[in-house]
């Protein structure tokens, strides 16, 4: 397929459109397709190479990718993303509709809350961990959009595998709230409730006093003396996969 002449303008506008998600690279596209994304456009400078790579890395959606792909010149393709994906594909998808009450309603699976995260790549990695652990959803409290192209790249498109949304503040929920804080009960000694909301603050400042004060349980990840903190996504992984929290995960 030949791309429309306004393809560059379309992709640039999509980065500001709250209804669209930019998918940079094959991994983001394959996950979006696997988890039901509505794809608006797929652009590649080399459809044969993309088809071969998709056959190797994503055979379950390779035919769908080939059918969606629009061929564009290398110069045009280089303008579709700030960093040209080495896998030779960029796509647009419709943003899923996600409601806070649906994500936060009680269930046995946990919800991850990231309060005021600063690093887009870390947010993406946290989404990736939460999807792998089969969490019920991920909420960003603050200014970071979990569908920002850099976050989507860090998550390899797994925003489509679990509900993700941004809120100005965490609403009251029937789920128990568990806060991660250096002064909390060591995780190895904790007994955590099922279906919890796990709240993570920034590496430097931790959780806000308000959100920590709402927590029914406060836990800490044991660390070697002198080590001040863990990367945000690493902390999310430790907690979701720790035996103390394993009962919160779907069987």
| Same domain? 121 vs 43 | no
Q: Please tell me the pTM assigned to this model.
A: 0.92
Is the pLDDT reported for residue 102 higher than 70?
yes
Burial profile 217-233: b = 16 or more Cβ within 10 angstroms, e = fewer? bbbbbeeeeeeeebebb
Using an 8 Å Cβ cutoff, are 151 and 120 in contact? yes
**Interval 80-84 mean pLDDT:** 94
Asked whether residue 34 is assigned to any structural domain, the reply reads yes
pLDDT score of 207 = 94
| Same domain? 50 vs 107 | no
CATH number, residue 129: 3.40.1280.10
pLDDT score of 204 = 77
Domain boundaries, position 85: 7-94
| Same domain? 125 vs 165 | yes
**Interval 143-164 mean pLDDT:** 97
Question: Strands 164-167 and 217-220, how do they pair?
Answer: unpaired
As a whole number of angstroms, the distance between CA 62 and CA 53 comes to 9
Confidence of residue 141 (pLDDT cuts 50, 70, 90): very high
pLDDT tens by residue, 190-232: 888 989 999 999 877 889 999 999 999 999 999 988 888 889 9
Domain boundary among 94, 128, 150: 94
**Interval 119-132 mean pLDDT:** 97
Residue 215 φ/ψ, nearest 5 degrees = -70, 140
pLDDT score of 249 = 38
Is the pLDDT reported for residue 166 higher than 70?
yes
| Same domain? 48 vs 143 | no
As a whole number of angstroms, the distance between CA 195 and CA 219 comes to 16
pLDDT tens by residue, 58-79: 999 999 999 999 999 999 999 9
Which tokens in the block code for residue 94?
A: 């419709």
């Amino acid at each position: 397929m030949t791309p429309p002449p306004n393809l560059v303008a379309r992709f640039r506008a999509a980065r500001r459109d709250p209804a669209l998600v930019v998918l940079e690279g094959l991994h983001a596209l394959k996950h979006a397709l696997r988890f039901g994304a509505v794809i608006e456009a797929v652009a590649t400078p080399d459809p044969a190479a993309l088809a071969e790579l998709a056959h190797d890395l994503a055979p379950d959606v390779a035919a769908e990718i080939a059918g969606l792909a629009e061929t564009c010149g290398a110069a045009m393709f280089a303008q579709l993303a700030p960093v040209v994906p080495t896998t030779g594909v960029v796509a647009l998808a419709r943003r899923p509709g996600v409601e806070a009450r649906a994500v936060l309603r009680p269930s046995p699976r946990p919800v991850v809350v990231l309060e005021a995260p600063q690093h887009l790549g870390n947010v993406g990695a946290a989404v990736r961990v939460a999807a792998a652990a089969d969490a019920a959803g991920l909420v960003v409290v603050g200014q970071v959009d979990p569908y920002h192209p850099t976050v989507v790249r860090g998550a390899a498109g797994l925003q489509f595998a679990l509900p993700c949304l941004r809120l100005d503040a965490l609403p009251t929920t029937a789920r128990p709230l568990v806060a991660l804080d250096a002064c909390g009960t060591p995780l190895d000694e904790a007994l955590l409730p099922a279906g919890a909301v796990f709240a993570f603050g920034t590496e430097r400042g931790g959780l806000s006093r308000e959100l920590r004060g709402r927590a029914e349980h406060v836990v800490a990840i044991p660390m070697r003396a002198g080590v001040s903190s863990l990367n945000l996504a690493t902390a999310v992984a430790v907690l979701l996969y720790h035996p103390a929290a394993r009962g919160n995960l779907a069987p």
